[in-house]
Structure 1
């Protein structure tokens, strides 16, 4: 089962993907290919390893450089996780709690 969960990154210019968080208030993500959506409560970032959802309060972009694949976010971060790419856009929009309370 562990072998099934391993993901092979898509080939693109960013070979490295890192997530660095400081005190749940500052987050820097490298290897970002695109910002799918964002607001003050949720960011959806497309990375080489799948879609990364970051949820929190008063979230805002501190740094955005898609040429370098870097996004820095500030605010109170509550959770983050990766989506499977096989999900439909409607399932992606529901998020964790939408799936939990079906």
Structure 2
């Protein structure tokens, strides 16, 4: 993941329900978002009421952010949407870990 645009995660209250609506792989509307851990134009890492979610694509932007309701909209070309066990993401390895191989 490239340098995050956020230095600290955005945490907010959310309702317990988690919904995902994708339209034509260009718009993603989420509810039940607890926090946005990091994001840039290629990747968003979010904590939802159902676990960590990784969204990857191209030219990704934050379209809507409602911290009171836990609603987030992401716009761009969405290539991948995945729930992950640990927030480092699948196959993610630290820079130091790669050097020590």
Flag whether TM exceeds 0.5 (same fold): yes
**TM-score for the superposition, normalised by structure 2:** 0.73
Quote the residue 1:73 is aligned against. Answer: 74
Root mean square deviation, CA, Å:
1.9
Q: Name the count of aligned residue pairs.
A: 82
Q: Once the 2 structures are TM-superposed, how far is the Cα of residue 96 of structure 1 from its aligned partner?
A: 3.1
| Displacement over 2 Å in runs of 4+ | 95-99
* Structure 1 gap segments, 5+ residues each: 1-11
Matching residue of 2:15? 14
In terms of fraction of residues, the more helix-rich structure is 1
Higher relative contact order (CA 8 A, sep 6+): 2
TM-score between the two structures when normalised by the length of structure 1: 0.73
Give yes or no for contact 2:14–2:33 (8 Å, CA) kept in 1.
Answer: no
